[in-house]
Amino acid sequence: MNKFAKDESKKMKKDVGERVDLKNESEKNISNASISNKQKILIAAADLFALKGYTETSIREIASAVGIKGSSIYNHFISKNNILEYMLEDYAAKNAGVFSDRQAIYSKLKESPTVESILCCMQLSFSDDKKEYYLKILNVILQEQHRNPTVREFVSKNIILRSSENTKTIINILKELNIIRKDTDPDFWMKISSSLFYTFATRMMLGIGDNQPDFTGMNMMNTLKHMYELMFKVCGIENK
């Protein structure tokens, strides 16, 4: 066998090995027979998008991870982008009610006006059987927002704007409770919050810090923690 043939053989084995690893990783997460094929497709897609990236993942790979034919995907979704859109809508729906109960947030911060309480109010609550799925979607969002127009639009409307409003809610409640000064500017801290999100996403895209496949979101939460610690230090009533 000549050198070219040997190199091609090694490359083929490597490619096959990578496909098997990806398939096995997805199969571990979709082995529950009680969920529908549509749900299995979403779980497999979230796994593969997080591991390989949206562009690099094919419909055939998603179908293979689920254990169905590629054409069967189209019984549930019209395209790969439609799968992505559905995942984002699923995440947004889960995320929507986090700050809907202002009185509950007020009571929580009144009882314990600390950075930890703020993060507790902001922390999404995922059921154990869906936690990994939603964290994979968040991973995909952070990786793809700079290069995928669908994700970029979603981030603008459902994360940046919502996160800014959530930050404003927190600041106004802290003002009402006389924890921070009345002249604290919500717009300034809203901009800081948005900038931190973009910085974190850029670091992920460059492979720095909290990255797949063991993404937990904790580094992003720690980034927000540092922001609120700085706010308490600069704007706290005891520091006036």
Instruction: Quote the domain boundaries for residue 61.
Output: 3-75
Unique residue bearing structure tokens 């982008």: 81
Residue 180, strand partner residues: 236
Same domain, 134 and 21: no
Query: What total number of domains does the chain contain?
Result: 2
Same domain, 105 and 60: no
Same domain, 220 and 125: yes
- What's the rounded Cα separation, in Å, for the pair 42 and 80? 10
Q: Residue 208 maps to which CATH number?
A: 1.10.357
Least Cα distance to 165 among 153, 175, 157 occurs for: 157
Residue 239: predicted pLDDT: 52
Q: Report the 10 Å Cβ neighbour count for 43.
A: 23
Residue 5: predicted pLDDT: 46
Domain assignment present for 82: no
Same domain, 145 and 235: yes
Cβ partners under 8 Å of residue 150, min gap 6: 81, 84, 85, 88
* Higher pLDDT pick, 117 / 19: 117
Same domain, 54 and 18: yes
Same domain, 120 and 62: no
Dump pLDDT digits (tens) for 25-77. 444 555 555 578 999 999 999 999 988 889 999 999 999 999 999 899 999 99
pTM of the full predicted structure? 0.66
Domain assignment present for 81: no
Least Cα distance to 200 among 166, 227, 167 occurs for: 227
Dump pLDDT digits (tens) for 94-140. 766 566 678 888 998 999 999 888 887 766 556 666 778 888 888 88
Same domain, 128 and 95: yes
* Higher pLDDT pick, 98 / 93: 93
Residue 181: predicted pLDDT: 93
Same domain, 170 and 196: yes
User: Does the pLDDT at position 174 exceed 80?
Assistant: yes
* Higher pLDDT pick, 14 / 209: 209
The sign of the torsion formed by the CA atoms of 118, 205, 209, 128 equals positive
Of 36-40, 88-92, 164-168, 219-223, which range is least confident?
Answer: 219-223
Label residue 12 by pLDDT band (50, 70, 90).
very low
Dump pLDDT digits (tens) for 180-229. 999 999 989 888 887 877 777 676 666 665 555 555 667 777 888 889 99
Same domain, 111 and 162: yes
Residue 6: predicted pLDDT: 46
Dump pLDDT digits (tens) for 72-83. 999 999 999 999
